[in-house]
Amino acid sequence: MNKALYPIVEIFSSIQGEGFHMGKGSTFIRVAGCNLRCSWCDTQHSFDVSKARWMSVEEIIEESEITHQHVVITGGEPTLYDLGPLVQELHKLGKYVAIETNGTNPIPADWALDWITASPKPGSDFALCCQADELKYVVDDEFTIDCITKQYLPEGRIFLQVESGRQESAQKGYELINSHPDRRLRMGIQLHKILDVR
Ligand code: SF4
């Protein structure tokens, strides 16, 4: 029996609406708490850890419907907790386990995550403290090309994310992609919001 407990906000199945795996059926496990406070954050309901339900790995797996093979641990900021035991049990079920992080914490290799999406944020000076499989940058008014880390990634894995559907953000991302073809950037959208699903 594993003793790890996690503050869970919600567990639900939908589609991955962003990034490299966009469109895939996915089960999301959202943990509470975040070390940043981004102005555009659309998951502020996950900030308050006291409103979350502390669940063991067994409870998460037995009480939840983790229907999809693609599982995304998100938040808030999931690296505030030791995710190793949870990832291990999900792997035993044959799940592909991805994480969404703001990149401010190192991610231990022994968590053995299958995919790391890091989204460095202005509140942390765009610090990136983990090895990522893809990077997502929200294009707000302050964002510049110099905010993007030089960390090596295969082509097509750095996304410029439109800020909450703002036209100015979309235009700025479009211009950055076209003025820096050497960086091989991609435009990022939120498909779940366009489709008006969860
Ligand atoms: S890091 Fe993510 S969860 Fe935390 S405040 Fe920023 S957008 Fe919200």
Nearest ligand 1 atom, CA 102: 1
105 compared with 2, residue with greater pLDDT: 105
Nearest ligand 1 atom, CA 35: 4
Tens of pLDDT, residue by residue over 12-30, are 999 999 999 999 999 999 9
**Cis upstream peptide for 19 (omega within 30°):** no
- Cα 120 to averaged position of ligand 1 atoms, centre (Å): 10
Q: For the domain that residue 132 is a member of, what is the CATH number?
A: 3.20.20.70
Percentage of the chain modeled with pLDDT above 70: 99
- pLDDT band for 111, please (50, 70, 90 cuts): very high
- If DSSP codes are grouped into helix, strand and coil, which group holds residue 139? strand
Q: Where are the beta strands (DSSP E) in 104-173?
A: 115-118, 134-139, 158-162
Q: Do the bridges between strand 96-101 and strand 115-118 make them parallel or antiparallel, or are there none, so unpaired?
A: parallel
What's the whole-number mean pLDDT along residues 108-135? 96
Q: How many domains does the chain have?
A: 1
Tens of pLDDT, residue by residue over 63-109, are 888 999 999 999 999 999 999 999 999 999 999 999 999 999 999 99
To test the ligand 1 pocket, which listed residue (10, 40, 47, 102) has its Cβ within 8 A of the most ligand atoms? Answer: 102
- pLDDT band for 1, please (50, 70, 90 cuts): low
Nearest ligand 1 atom, CA 37: 5
- Cα 41 to averaged position of ligand 1 atoms, centre (Å): 5
How far, CA to CA in Å, does 167 sit from each of 89, 164, 170? 42, 9, 5
To test the ligand 1 pocket, which listed residue (35, 42, 43) has its Cβ within 8 A of the most ligand atoms? Answer: 43
Whether residue 3 has pLDDT greater than 90: no
What's the whole-number mean pLDDT along residues 150-167? 89
Residue numbers belonging to the annotated binding site for S-adenosyl-L-methionine = 40-42, 76, 119-121
Q: Which residues line ligand 1 (CB under 6 A)?
A: 34, 36-38, 41, 43, 75-77, 102, 121
190 contacts 162 by C-beta, under 8 angstroms: yes
Q: Where are the beta strands (DSSP E) in the chain?
A: 5-15, 25-31, 53-56, 70-74, 96-101, 115-118, 134-139, 158-162, 186-188
Contacts of 191 (CB under 8 A, 6+ apart): 15, 17, 18, 22, 23
In whole numbers, what is the pLDDT of the chain averaged over residues? 95
How far, CA to CA in Å, does 115 sit from each of 2, 53, 125? 23, 26, 23
pLDDT at 151: 77
- Residue 10 neighbours by CB distance under 10 Å: 17
Tens of pLDDT, residue by residue over 179-192, are 999 999 999 999 99
pLDDT at 41: 93
pLDDT at 153: 86
Domain encompassing residue 50? 5-194
Residue numbers belonging to the annotated binding site for substrate = 15-17, 30, 74
Whether residue 52 has pLDDT greater than 70: yes
- pLDDT band for 150, please (50, 70, 90 cuts): confident
Distance (Å, rounded) from C-alpha 16 to C-alpha 170?
20
